[in-house]
Structure 1
């Protein structure tokens, strides 16, 4: 536990780097690349929402029309410094107080997610042992939390909700995910109800690099549908609170545009019917519907209705469905009117 706390303190110190030191680092890297930047301003240093303005003298390059040098030389430097992709937002030519060019760089978000949730409690009761949360930590990082408390009682609901709340608090304080998972194991193990615990399925979708990071503590398999292919993310880690210390390792998967992510609680599959048969049937319906042009809300409803036509859901059940798509930049939009004008000229 002390090792994780020391790591957390070190990370907090790193986050306190001032704008001045960041700007100085960028200017030095530009000088090493023989790019003379007489003024640089970091307007925002928040991950996923960084904004940097660089003022350059045009010299021999016509910066007003040609941004190739900025794309090939400055963008890679920013990527190395911040470990995230950037894009050119705009280029402004200025004549006052002397002729120069201002180039505005911002964090590039390559992907976006759309999601829907299917949730039901056993026997249509008011209390469900399942809890979930989907939210953005910052514009480039999307978090998914799914917890299943033991049983279907009010106490089970309390356990799962408490776990979700604690995890969100850890993430809001910029705690490392693995450190947060170990912290939850430690805190939950101190509770008085020794027979109560909850699973936690935690995932982060990196919208800049297109990565899925997954941490599981007793959670079910996560499915990634990619056309006819199905990728599974699994783990044998113990539920949170079951042990005071548990080995929780991150699983990383590369995402592509069009991928569909499915996460679910164990209530989806019955303990009476064959588990493999249920999983195969569920995935078959999911693949069949995922490729249609229906909304994600319609897709998930059809999948669950079709599945329940074959197997009865006997427990609290939650299914999360997410679709990953490319962000289309404004400059990629084709406008025939503008094209015809430029062609005639």
Structure 2
């Protein structure tokens, strides 16, 4: 069972404690010797006010400390000999919050006030006056409240330090794991991709020198090798970075489109790619920008490899609370592997669904294929 689900809010607990202390002090004051007339009314008001002030002890511990001290001095002056429970709780809260000097200063001032005002209010021998003041405040309880607050403060401080240590350890382990993955990728994939790129580019070069027609499959292998090399370099840079490098987003779309233009021209496919920004451009959450970038990247990759298209249009539309991304081409209407082995469209759908958006894919009329994504901007992670 999840116990955190039944946890009482701090404000509710403080309010209940304040009402309990106020009732306790009122009950103690009325059950023992107490004055009559306006002094009785004033004392009851101060007893209740001293307890009620504890409702704000977490938000304003020093103000509550001063208020409860004033109430305690007031009800003593009115003739009530009641243990200042509210002040003891306020001392505990102030020390727990780290205001030890304030607790000591206010306590010393309160003791002095009680000893100075008691002769004028009660009269009688000095020993009896001191006994009355000590009974009101009970220095032993005051010291106990101070010690308890300090002990809890130290325990919370150690818990915070332990939590920070755990977070730093987890962050360090994550950095070490990231670097290990980067080394593994570099050692295992970089060489293989480089071999594919060099061999495919050499084969294309030799075929063109001989005046032979370059097979489309060979061109696709060369282009895939180039793109894989770029992606691997970007991945290694991100893994080796300290985590502050921003992920690709909307600002990287022009460069992405330009790379596909260069790839298309170099491969002889003649793919023409355009980028259009509609609406009023505004900053979007990093997750939305990254998803839009990956959708355009995957869609253009599928167009270049499988659609046999001559043109592709990328449209980014900034709408109120929504970012719409559309990639259209004039190809044969199936920009994904016919074998069903590719996971491009599935990956797009998973990314869009994770943000609470919608993805539409399908043929465009008589020819071409369209990928449309609507990504909510408000509330995105």
Q: Same fold (TM over 0.5)?
A: no
For CA contacts below 8 A with separation 6 or more, give which structure has more relative contact order.
1
**Which structure has greater strand proportion?**
1
TM range (shorter): under 0.3
